[in-house]
Protein backbone atom coordinates (compact mmCIF):
# COMPACT_ATOMS: atom_id res chain seq x y z
CA UNK A 1 0.00 0.00 0.00
CA UNK A 2 1.54 3.30 -1.00
CA UNK A 3 1.34 5.41 2.10
CA UNK A 4 -2.32 4.54 2.62
CA UNK A 5 -2.13 3.51 6.25
CA UNK A 6 -2.63 6.55 8.45
CA UNK A 7 -0.21 7.08 11.35
CA UNK A 8 -1.17 5.38 14.60
CA UNK A 9 -3.09 2.55 12.96
CA UNK A 10 -0.39 -0.11 13.36
CA UNK A 11 0.13 -1.59 16.82
CA UNK A 12 2.52 -4.07 18.36
CA UNK A 13 0.55 -7.29 18.85
CA UNK A 14 2.31 -8.92 21.81
CA UNK A 15 5.22 -8.81 24.22
CA UNK A 16 6.60 -5.99 26.33
CA UNK A 17 5.25 -3.30 23.95
CA UNK A 18 1.85 -4.91 23.32
CA UNK A 19 -0.70 -2.35 22.16
CA UNK A 20 1.88 0.40 21.52
CA UNK A 21 1.26 2.26 18.28
CA UNK A 22 3.82 2.72 15.52
CA UNK A 23 4.21 5.71 13.26
CA UNK A 24 3.73 4.87 9.60
CA UNK A 25 5.39 6.91 6.84
CA UNK A 26 2.89 8.64 4.56
CA UNK A 27 5.06 8.43 1.47
CA UNK A 28 6.97 5.81 -0.46
CA UNK A 29 6.12 2.18 -1.03
CA UNK A 30 5.37 1.44 2.61
CA UNK A 31 2.92 -1.39 3.18
CA UNK A 32 3.16 -2.31 6.86
CA UNK A 33 2.50 -5.94 7.66
CA UNK A 34 -0.98 -6.08 9.14
CA UNK A 35 -1.52 -7.02 12.77
CA UNK A 36 -3.38 -10.14 11.65
CA UNK A 37 -0.49 -11.34 9.49
CA UNK A 38 2.14 -10.47 12.13
CA UNK A 39 0.19 -12.35 14.77
CA UNK A 40 -0.07 -15.40 12.48
CA UNK A 41 3.65 -15.26 11.62
CA UNK A 42 4.76 -15.11 15.24
CA UNK A 43 2.28 -17.83 16.28
CA UNK A 44 3.93 -20.14 13.74
CA UNK A 45 7.46 -19.10 14.77
CA UNK A 46 6.78 -19.73 18.45
CA UNK A 47 9.15 -18.37 21.14
CA UNK A 48 11.85 -16.10 19.70
CA UNK A 49 13.58 -14.98 22.89
CA UNK A 50 17.27 -14.26 22.31
CA UNK A 51 17.16 -14.52 18.52
CA UNK A 52 19.11 -12.20 16.21
CA UNK A 53 16.82 -10.65 13.57
CA UNK A 54 17.38 -9.02 10.18
CA UNK A 55 14.44 -6.98 8.85
CA UNK A 56 15.14 -6.22 5.19
CA UNK A 57 12.83 -3.65 3.57
CA UNK A 58 11.91 -2.58 7.09
CA UNK A 59 9.59 0.35 6.34
CA UNK A 60 7.98 1.31 9.66
CA UNK A 61 9.84 -1.55 11.36
CA UNK A 62 6.66 -3.41 12.33
CA UNK A 63 8.13 -6.92 11.91
CA UNK A 64 11.47 -6.28 13.61
CA UNK A 65 9.91 -4.25 16.42
CA UNK A 66 7.33 -6.98 16.98
CA UNK A 67 10.24 -9.43 17.29
CA UNK A 68 12.02 -7.19 19.79
CA UNK A 69 8.82 -6.78 21.80
CA UNK A 70 8.60 -10.58 21.96
CA UNK A 71 12.13 -10.96 23.31
CA UNK A 72 14.49 -11.05 20.32
CA UNK A 73 18.04 -10.10 21.34
CA UNK A 74 18.53 -7.56 18.59
CA UNK A 75 17.40 -6.45 15.16
CA UNK A 76 19.17 -4.94 12.18
CA UNK A 77 16.72 -2.93 10.09
CA UNK A 78 17.43 -2.15 6.43
CA UNK A 79 15.53 0.68 4.72
CA UNK A 80 16.71 2.53 1.61
CA UNK A 81 14.39 5.57 1.82
CA UNK A 82 15.82 8.23 4.17
CA UNK A 83 12.43 9.70 5.10
CA UNK A 84 10.98 6.26 5.83
CA UNK A 85 14.13 5.40 7.83
CA UNK A 86 13.62 8.56 9.89
CA UNK A 87 10.15 7.31 10.89
CA UNK A 88 11.61 3.85 11.58
CA UNK A 89 14.20 5.37 13.93
CA UNK A 90 11.45 7.31 15.69
CA UNK A 91 9.61 4.01 16.24
CA UNK A 92 12.76 2.36 17.61
CA UNK A 93 13.22 5.22 20.10
CA UNK A 94 9.50 5.38 20.90
CA UNK A 95 9.49 1.71 21.94
CA UNK A 96 12.81 1.93 23.78
CA UNK A 97 14.82 -0.45 21.57
CA UNK A 98 17.71 1.84 20.68
CA UNK A 99 20.38 -0.44 22.21
CA UNK A 100 18.98 -3.56 20.56
CA UNK A 101 18.63 -1.99 17.11
CA UNK A 102 20.74 -0.99 14.16
CA UNK A 103 19.22 0.91 11.22
CA UNK A 104 21.07 0.70 7.91
CA UNK A 105 19.86 3.32 5.43
CA UNK A 106 20.87 1.85 2.09
CA UNK A 107 19.65 -0.45 -0.70
CA UNK A 108 19.28 -4.07 0.37
CA UNK A 109 22.10 -5.32 -1.88
CA UNK A 110 24.62 -2.97 -0.27
CA UNK A 111 23.34 -3.85 3.21
CA UNK A 112 23.66 -7.57 2.48
CA UNK A 113 27.24 -7.07 1.27
CA UNK A 114 28.09 -5.08 4.40
CA UNK A 115 26.57 -7.70 6.71
CA UNK A 116 28.44 -10.48 4.91
CA UNK A 117 31.72 -8.59 5.25
CA UNK A 118 31.06 -8.29 8.98
CA UNK A 119 30.37 -12.02 9.16
CA UNK A 120 26.98 -11.43 10.77
CA UNK A 121 24.46 -14.27 10.80
CA UNK A 122 20.84 -14.06 11.87
CA UNK A 123 18.38 -16.53 13.35
CA UNK A 124 15.37 -14.85 11.77
CA UNK A 125 15.31 -13.00 8.47
CA UNK A 126 12.27 -10.99 7.32
CA UNK A 127 11.99 -10.36 3.57
CA UNK A 128 9.04 -8.09 2.80
CA UNK A 129 9.88 -5.89 -0.20
CA UNK A 130 7.39 -3.95 -2.30
CA UNK A 131 5.64 -6.75 -4.18
CA UNK A 132 6.71 -5.32 -7.54
CA UNK A 133 10.35 -5.90 -6.47
CA UNK A 134 10.06 -9.47 -5.20
CA UNK A 135 10.91 -11.02 -8.57
CA UNK A 136 14.29 -9.23 -8.60
CA UNK A 137 14.93 -9.54 -4.86
CA UNK A 138 14.80 -13.34 -4.74
CA UNK A 139 17.57 -14.05 -7.28
CA UNK A 140 19.75 -11.27 -5.80
CA UNK A 141 19.27 -12.46 -2.22
CA UNK A 142 19.34 -16.24 -2.77
CA UNK A 143 23.16 -16.59 -2.97
CA UNK A 144 23.63 -14.47 0.18
CA UNK A 145 21.13 -16.28 2.38
CA UNK A 146 23.47 -19.15 3.38
CA UNK A 147 25.96 -16.64 4.82
CA UNK A 148 23.29 -14.46 6.45
CA UNK A 149 21.33 -17.29 8.06
CA UNK A 150 22.59 -18.91 11.25
CA UNK A 151 22.31 -22.67 11.57
CA UNK A 152 18.64 -23.54 12.05
CA UNK A 153 17.58 -20.03 11.03
CA UNK A 154 14.29 -19.17 9.36
CA UNK A 155 13.49 -16.79 6.51
CA UNK A 156 9.99 -15.27 6.50
CA UNK A 157 8.97 -14.00 3.06
CA UNK A 158 5.89 -11.93 2.30
CA UNK A 159 4.69 -11.65 -1.25
CA UNK A 160 1.75 -11.66 -3.62
CA UNK A 161 -0.20 -14.84 -4.36
CA UNK A 162 1.21 -14.90 -7.90
CA UNK A 163 4.81 -15.71 -6.83
CA UNK A 164 6.14 -18.72 -4.93
CA UNK A 165 9.52 -17.86 -3.46
CA UNK A 166 11.69 -20.29 -1.48
CA UNK A 167 15.26 -18.85 -1.62
CA UNK A 168 16.41 -22.37 -2.48
CA UNK A 169 15.58 -23.59 1.03
CA UNK A 170 13.07 -26.02 2.52
CA UNK A 171 9.53 -24.58 2.72
CA UNK A 172 8.19 -25.23 6.23
CA UNK A 173 5.10 -23.02 6.04
CA UNK A 174 3.07 -21.29 3.33
CA UNK A 175 -0.32 -19.65 3.82
CA UNK A 176 -2.37 -16.95 2.15
CA UNK A 177 -3.83 -14.04 4.12
CA UNK A 178 -5.94 -11.94 1.74
CA UNK A 179 -3.54 -10.53 -0.88
CA UNK A 180 -0.45 -11.64 1.05
CA UNK A 181 1.24 -15.03 1.02
CA UNK A 182 3.57 -15.78 3.92
CA UNK A 183 6.25 -18.36 3.21
CA UNK A 184 8.72 -19.61 5.82
CA UNK A 185 11.83 -21.43 4.72
CA UNK A 186 14.81 -22.83 6.57
CA UNK A 187 17.98 -24.67 5.78
CA UNK A 188 17.63 -28.34 4.92
CA UNK A 189 19.34 -31.03 6.92
CA UNK A 190 22.07 -31.51 4.33
CA UNK A 191 23.26 -27.95 3.98
CA UNK A 192 25.65 -27.64 6.94
- 188 pLDDT band, cuts 50/70/90, is low
Confidence check: pLDDT of 144 > 60: yes
Q: Which residues contact 115 (CB under 8 A, 6 or more apart)?
A: 54, 76, 148
Domain ranges of the chain: 10-186
Residue 3 has pLDDT above 60, yes or no: no
Q: What is the mean pLDDT of residues 39-60?
A: 95
- What is the average per-residue pLDDT within 64-79? 98
Q: Residue 27: count other Cβ atoms within 10 Å of its Cβ.
A: 11
Domain 10-186 fold? Rossmann fold (3.40.50)
Is the CB of residue 175 less than 8 Å from the CB of residue 181? yes
Q: Please give the average per-residue pLDDT across 65-86, as a whole number.
A: 97
SS3 at position 146: helix
Report, as an integer, the average pLDDT of 64-84: 97
- What local confidence, expressed as pLDDT, does residue 2 receive? 33
Mean pLDDT of the chain: 89
Residue 35 burial by CB count (10 A; 0-12/13-18/19+): exposed, middle or buried? Answer: middle
CB of 98 within 8 A of CB of 107? no
pLDDT exceeds 70 at position 47:
yes
Its pTM stands at 0.91
Residue 135 has pLDDT above 90, yes or no: no
Spell out the residues 6+ positions from residue 162 whose beta carbon is closer than 8 angstroms to its own. Answer: none
Q: Which residues contact 110 (CB under 8 A, 6 or more apart)?
A: none
3-state SS of 68-121 is HHCCCCEEEEECCCHHHHHHHHHHHHHHCCCCCEEEECCCHHHHHHHHHHHCCC
What contacts 24+ positions apart, CB below 8 Å, involve 158-161?
Answer: 158/33, 158/37, 158/126, 158/127, 158/128, 158/182, 159/131, 159/134, 159/183, 160/131, 160/134
Amino acid sequence: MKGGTPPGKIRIVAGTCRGRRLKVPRRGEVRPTSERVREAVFDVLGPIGGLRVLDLFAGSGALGLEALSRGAAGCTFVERDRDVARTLRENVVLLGFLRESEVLVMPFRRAVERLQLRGQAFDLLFVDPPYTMLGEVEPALRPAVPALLASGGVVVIEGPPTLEIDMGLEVVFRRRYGNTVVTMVKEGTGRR
